[in-house]
Chain A
């Protein structure tokens, strides 16, 4: 695997859209060619090299390419956009759309990530060591096909609307999560190790939410369904089980109605 290191040298006055920072776009290119990749500051087209110092050549394919993003990129959007393979390490906080529409490969964000990270993710892995913004692993506006595969781990807190319209894959938040978790989901799993605010699993058709901490207000559509012993992420514990959203439609599998599941650690 070849490593390309890009370091922010000229911060944008506004925000930078750098959807070319991905192993797919870098693959097969020398440092010089990578520096020519297009980026946009508002409506002004520019090149990656104008904002970043690029060192190292990429591998022949995305899978053979690792990118390390250094410097203050808190005003850089779309890092890891549509990535399918390879590795991407973001040393500091990045803005919106990190790993949006990603299908494969691995992103490690050492700082925070902004809203819309891993939008409509299909595969791969996103690890955020800081906090994640709103709409983590959610569907694009209007689309009923949300995150369908892959894994997201947030070591800090997550914002609102994580996993909206989720179909598959897994989201783990070690910290707390803001309102609305897995709204409209039809599959997949979200684990929140800290506290959840409210409005969990609203309009959920199918899927699983597991909460280790407190829930400020439960959705009325989640009906108590006894207690269960579960092993979650290596932790064995007793959980209160709820099924829902009882107000929403549900599918039948072999004649039995399948509900969404919410487990809260007792």
Chain B
């Protein structure tokens, strides 16, 4: 006999699909089949069951080999490292639940550490822009029910958020959008004719790194002012056409991704895109939303914010919270040589940071908490495998539109394995002893 778990939340991307169904063995130990998830989500669920999975902490020895150690020994190494460091970084948090993030924040507070999440490499610059000019946005259901103008700017949901278009943005038939895709005009702005761009009514093939100029040109076009003949490789006429298409909708939305957050101008690209959105609200209704990557990077920002006041790149070393990306941001801290210990959880900086920011990790005391083998575990001194969040343990997460959804546990983790939260609680408690706090 098998049983089916319904309303399962997919712990891959910020789309946070919550209609996945998993078939599990009767004893609840094996995940047999996955329905409704995209190909990446399916792989995520099924890979959790890999036979070659590491199930116990491992400490790298002088000769480079791994030695299996107990969780208690791993706790001791982690707590000692954090207690001794002058400027430790607790990085990641985007692939774990809010419960674990909350314990992590206590650890950061006790050890007077820096703490940061993967916004460092995805939408940190979005947050900077939001701090500069705000964010008119909405939930994804609003898009489904009302939107007739969909703009994907520097993002490629066909690849990165595979079910986004079918669940929320392009295909669904909502309350005021009964004709589904037929009710909507789709504009894609991307330097490549991506698989998403190929579906669009209009593709503006912007010159790479000139999004800021193109966004400014749209704002000029809304006001009917003078424009140069070509901006960012796009003819003025085409810009004016796109501007008119945006203005003529009843409810529009700009979704944007790393094409703009990581290209030249970074936060300014988003700043200008938000300004475009704000302008459009003089003519019609318009929203804008970042296509958040990790399934709970948004939640990490929320928890940081209500506990420390800032959504990422928080520096607690002086005993109180400070924030200024460029100074307190992980990649800058690593490259500048400001850190002396690295605790990574729920992310893989080894794979996703520039190599110059990975090298310092390899040369300092370092812990990697991750169910997978990753480049980060590969360069860290201690690798602590844990139960899979969203598969073997539930917990609250936040979707890209900030809607919280409580993840479900689908199967049991292998015997004796700890969850992120359980491991962190042990580290916290040991750290309290070392620091002599109640």
Using a CB–CB distance below 8 Å, which chain A residues touch chain B?
Answer: 13-15, 17, 40-44, 77, 96-97, 115-116, 134-135, 140-142, 144, 165, 179-180, 183-184, 198-199, 202-203, 217-221, 223, 245-248
Closest Cβ–Cβ distance, residue B139 to chain A (whole Å): 24
10 examples of A-B residue contacts, CB within 8 angstroms: A14-B339, A42-B87, A43-B112, A116-B327, A165-B132, A199-B265, A202-B268, A220-B227, A220-B228, A221-B220
Contact in complex: B210, A142 (CB < 8 Å): no
Q: Which residues of B contact A179 (CB under 8 A)?
A: 264-265
> B246-254, B315-323, B414-422: which lies at the A interface?
B315-323
Alpha-carbon gap, A183 to B133, bound state (A): 12
Instruction: Name 13 extra pairs, CB < 8 A, besides A202-B212, A220-B228, A248-B275.
Output: A13-B340, A14-B86, A14-B87, A42-B85, A42-B317, A116-B324, A116-B327, A144-B132, A184-B133, A203-B275, A221-B217, A246-B219, A246-B225
Residue B337 lies at the interface, judged by CB distance under 8 Å to chain A: yes
Residue B90 lies at the interface, judged by CB distance under 8 Å to chain A: no
Q: Which residues of B contact A219 (CB under 8 A)?
A: 213, 216
Contact in complex: B220, A43 (CB < 8 Å): no
Q: Which residues of B contact A134 (CB under 8 A)?
A: 326
Contact in complex: A180, B268 (CB < 8 Å): yes
Contact in complex: A217, B226 (CB < 8 Å): no
Residue B6 lies at the interface, judged by CB distance under 8 Å to chain A: no
Closest Cβ–Cβ distance, residue B69 to chain A (whole Å): 27
Residue interface bits B135-174, CB-to-A below 8 A is 1, else 0: 0000000000000000000000000000000000000000
- Given A17-B318, A44-B86, A203-B272, are A141 and B337 also a contact pair (CB < 8 Å)? no
Residue B128 lies at the interface, judged by CB distance under 8 Å to chain A: yes
Q: Which residues of B contact A165 (CB under 8 A)?
A: 132
Q: A224's closest neighbor in chain B, by CB?
A: B226
| 9 interchain residue pairs of minimum CB distance | A247-B219, A42-B86, A42-B87, A43-B112, A142-B131, A43-B317, A220-B217, A246-B225, A247-B220
Contact for B131 among A17, A40, A141, A202, CB less than 8 A: A141
Alpha-carbon gap, A77 to B332, bound state (A): 14
Contact in complex: A140, B324 (CB < 8 Å): yes
Residue B398 lies at the interface, judged by CB distance under 8 Å to chain A: no
Residue B271 lies at the interface, judged by CB distance under 8 Å to chain A: yes
Q: B340's closest neighbor in chain A, by CB?
A: A14
Residue B412 lies at the interface, judged by CB distance under 8 Å to chain A: no
Alpha-carbon gap, A96 to B326, bound state (A): 10
Contact in complex: B220, A246 (CB < 8 Å): yes
- Given A199-B212, A247-B216, are A183 and B268 also a contact pair (CB < 8 Å)? yes
- Given A14-B337, A203-B275, A247-B220, are A220 and B213 also a contact pair (CB < 8 Å)? yes
Closest Cβ–Cβ distance, residue A255 to chain B (whole Å): 19
Q: Which residues of B contact A40 (CB under 8 A)?
A: 317-318
Q: A247's closest neighbor in chain B, by CB?
A: B219
Contact in complex: B222, A247 (CB < 8 Å): yes
Alpha-carbon gap, A15 to B279, bound state (A): 43
Alpha-carbon gap, A248 to B217, bound state (A): 11
Q: A44's closest neighbor in chain B, by CB?
A: B86
Q: Which residues of B contact A43 (CB under 8 A)?
A: 86-87, 111-113, 316-319
Q: A135's closest neighbor in chain B, by CB?
A: B326
Alpha-carbon gap, A198 to B323, bound state (A): 28
Alpha-carbon gap, A245 to B218, bound state (A): 12
Q: Which residues of A contact B87 (CB under 8 A)?
A: 14, 42-43
Contact in complex: B327, A115 (CB < 8 Å): yes
Q: Which residues of B contact A141 (CB under 8 A)?
A: 128, 131-132, 323-325
Residue B314 lies at the interface, judged by CB distance under 8 Å to chain A: no
Residue B51 lies at the interface, judged by CB distance under 8 Å to chain A: no
Q: A184's closest neighbor in chain B, by CB?
A: B132
Alpha-carbon gap, A43 to B100, bound state (A): 24
Residue interface bits B73-104, CB-to-A below 8 A is 1, else 0: 00000000000011100000000000000000
Contact in complex: B86, A41 (CB < 8 Å): yes
Contact in complex: B132, A247 (CB < 8 Å): no
Q: Which residues of A contact B231 (CB under 8 A)?
A: 220
Residue B338 lies at the interface, judged by CB distance under 8 Å to chain A: yes
Residue interface bits B111-125, CB-to-A below 8 A is 1, else 0: 111000000000000
Closest Cβ–Cβ distance, residue A246 to chain B (whole Å): 4
Contact for A142 among B113, B132, B264, CB less than 8 A: B132
Q: Which residues of B contact A202 (CB under 8 A)?
A: 212, 216, 268, 272
Contact in complex: A180, B265 (CB < 8 Å): yes
Closest Cβ–Cβ distance, residue A146 to chain B (whole Å): 11
Closest Cβ–Cβ distance, residue A134 to chain B (whole Å): 7
Alpha-carbon gap, A77 to B315, bound state (A): 15
Q: A199's closest neighbor in chain B, by CB?
A: B212
Find the residue from B131, B225, B271, B279 having the highest chain A CB count within 10 A: B225
Closest Cβ–Cβ distance, residue A20 to chain B (whole Å): 13
Q: A77's closest neighbor in chain B, by CB?
A: B327
* Interface set, chain B 399-423, CB cutoff 8 A to A: none
Find the residue from A41, A218, A221, A223 having the highest chain B CB count within 10 A: A221
Alpha-carbon gap, A87 to B72, bound state (A): 55
Q: Which residues of B contact A180 (CB under 8 A)?
A: 265, 268
Closest Cβ–Cβ distance, residue B13 to chain A (whole Å): 27
Alpha-carbon gap, A96 to B210, bound state (A): 29
- Given A43-B112, A184-B132, A220-B231, are A199 and B268 also a contact pair (CB < 8 Å)? yes
Q: Which residues of B contact A223 (CB under 8 A)?
A: 225-226
Closest Cβ–Cβ distance, residue B353 to chain A (whole Å): 19
Q: A246's closest neighbor in chain B, by CB?
A: B225
* Interface set, chain B 171-230, CB cutoff 8 A to A: 210, 212-213, 216-220, 222-223, 225-228
Q: Which residues of B contact A44 (CB under 8 A)?
A: 86
Contact for B219 among A144, A217, A248, CB less than 8 A: A248
Q: Which residues of A contact B336 (CB under 8 A)?
A: 15
Contact in complex: B324, A42 (CB < 8 Å): no
Contact in complex: A217, B210 (CB < 8 Å): yes
Closest Cβ–Cβ distance, residue A196 to chain B (whole Å): 14
Alpha-carbon gap, A134 to B218, bound state (A): 28
Q: B212's closest neighbor in chain A, by CB?
A: A199
Closest Cβ–Cβ distance, residue A245 to chain B (whole Å): 6
